[in-house]
Amino acid sequence: MNNQQTRQWTVDKLEDNLINNQAIKEAAQILKKGEVIAFPTETVYGLGANAYDESAIAKIFAAKGRPSDNPLIVHIAKREQMLPFIEGISEKAEQLINAFWPGPLTLIFKQKGEIASNVTAGLDTIAVRMPDHPVAAALLLTSDLPLAAPSANLSGRPSPTTAGHVMLDLNKRIAGVVDGGSTGVGLESTVLDVSTEEPILYRPGGVTKEQIEEVIGPIAVDPALKKAEEAPRSPGMKYTHYSPNGEVYLIRACEDIQKHVDKWQAKGKRVGILTTEENRERYTADVIVSSGSRANLSTVASHLYDSLRQFDKEKAEIIFAEVFPEEGIGMAIMNRLEKAASGRYL
Each domain of the chain, given as residue ranges in start order, spans 7-226, 247-340
CA distance 323 to 191: 22
pLDDT over 70 percentage in the chain: 95
Q: Is 195 annotated among the ligand-binding residues?
A: no
Integer Cα distance of 312 and 295 in angstroms: 27
User: Backbone phi, then psi, for 48, in 5-degree steps?
Assistant: -100, 150
Residue 203 assigned as binding residue: yes
Whether 294 has a binding-site annotation, put simply, is: no
Residue 66 marked ligand-binding: yes
341 known member of a binding site = no
How much is the pLDDT for 2?
57
pLDDT of residue 230: 45
Q: Is 189 annotated as a binding residue?
A: yes
pTM of the entire structure? 0.94
Ligand-binding annotation for 75, yes or no, is: yes
**Runs of H (alpha helix) within the chain:** 22-32, 54-64, 91-100, 117-120, 134-143, 163-170, 209-216, 257-266, 297-313, 329-340
182 is in an annotated binding site: no
Q: DSSP secondary structure string, 122-178?
A: T-SEEEEE----HHHHHHHHHHTS-EE--BSS-TTSPPPSSHHHHHHHHTTTSSEEE
Any residues with CB less than 8 A from the CB of 267 and at least 6 apart, and which?
A: none
pLDDT at res. 4? 75
Q: Is 129 annotated as ligand-binding? A: yes
pLDDT tens-digit profile of 256-276? Answer: 999 999 999 999 999 999 999
Ligand-binding annotation for 45, yes or no, is: no
231 labeled binding residue: no
Q: What is the mean pLDDT of residues 72-84?
A: 97
In the predicted structure, residue 236 carries a pLDDT above the cut 80: no
Write down how long the chain is.
346
C-alpha–C-alpha distance, residues 122 and 247, integer Å: 34
CATH number 1.10.645.10 given to 7-226: no
Nearest-angstrom CA–CA distance, 264 and 243: 20
Mean pLDDT to the nearest integer, 73-95: 97
Name 259's Cβ contacts closer than 8 Å, sequence gap at least 6. Answer: none
Residue type for position 252: R
Which residues are CB-contacts of 108 (< 8 A; sequence separation ≥ 6)? Answer: 125, 126, 127, 128, 191, 192, 193, 194, 195, 202, 234
Give the right CATH number for 247-340 from 2.60.40.2480, 3.40.50.2000, 3.40.50.11030, 3.40.50.880: 3.40.50.11030
